[in-house]
Chains A and B, each alone.
Chain A
Amino acid sequence: MNDLELIEKAKNGDNKALTELVKRYEQTVYNFAFKICRDKERAEHTMQETFLSMIKSLHQFSGNSKFSTWLYTIVSNHCLMLARSQKVRGFTSLEDDDGIIEEKNVADWKITPDKVTENNELKKILDDAIKKLPYDYRIVFMLRDIEGFSTEETGKMTNLSIPAVKSRLHRARAFLRNELNAAFQE
Chain B
Amino acid sequence: MQHSKNKKNKITCKEVMHHLCETLGEDLESPKCVEIKDHLDNCENCRNYFKTIESTIQFYKQYNVQLPEESHNKLLDFLGLKEDEDE
Residue numbers of A with Cβ under 8 A of B are: 15-16, 18-20, 22-23, 26-27, 30-31, 34-35, 40, 43-44, 47-48, 51-52, 55, 101-109, 112-117, 122-123, 126, 130, 141-142, 144-146, 150-152, 162, 166, 169-170, 173-174, 176-177, 180-181
**B62 nearest CB neighbor, chain A only:** A116
CB pair B74 A48 closer than 8 Å: yes
CB 8 Å contact bits of B43-78 with A (1 = contact, 0 = none): 001101101110111111111111110011011101
Most buried by B among A55, A102, A109, A113: A113
Q: How far is the CB of B27 from chain A (nearest CB, A)?
A: 12
Q: Given A23-B86, A47-B71, A151-B24, is A146 in contact with B61 using a C-beta cutoff of 8 Å? A: yes
Whether B45 and A104, one on each chain, are in contact in the complex, defined by CB atoms closer than 8 angstroms, is yes
Contacts of A16 in B (CB 8 A): 85-86
B52, A130: Cβ atoms under 8 Å? no
| Prevailing SS type, chain B contact patch | helix
Given A23-B86, A146-B57, A180-B56: A113 and B62 interface contact (C-beta under 8 Å): yes
A103 cross-chain contacts in B, Cβ below 8 A? 45
- Is B59's CB under 8 angstroms from A126's CB? yes
20 A–B contacts, CB within 8 A, in A order: A18-B85, A23-B86, A31-B65, A40-B68, A44-B71, A48-B79, A52-B79, A106-B46, A106-B48, A108-B3, A109-B52, A113-B62, A117-B63, A117-B65, A126-B63, A162-B25, A169-B23, A174-B53, A180-B55, A180-B56
Q: How large is the interface on B (under 10, 10 to 19, 20 to 34, 35 or more residues)?
A: 35 or more
- With the chains together, A66 CA to B58 CA distance in Å? 25
- Give the Cβ gap from B72 to chain A, nearest Cβ, in Å: 6
| Prevailing SS type, chain A contact patch | helix
CB closest residue in chain B, given A166: B24
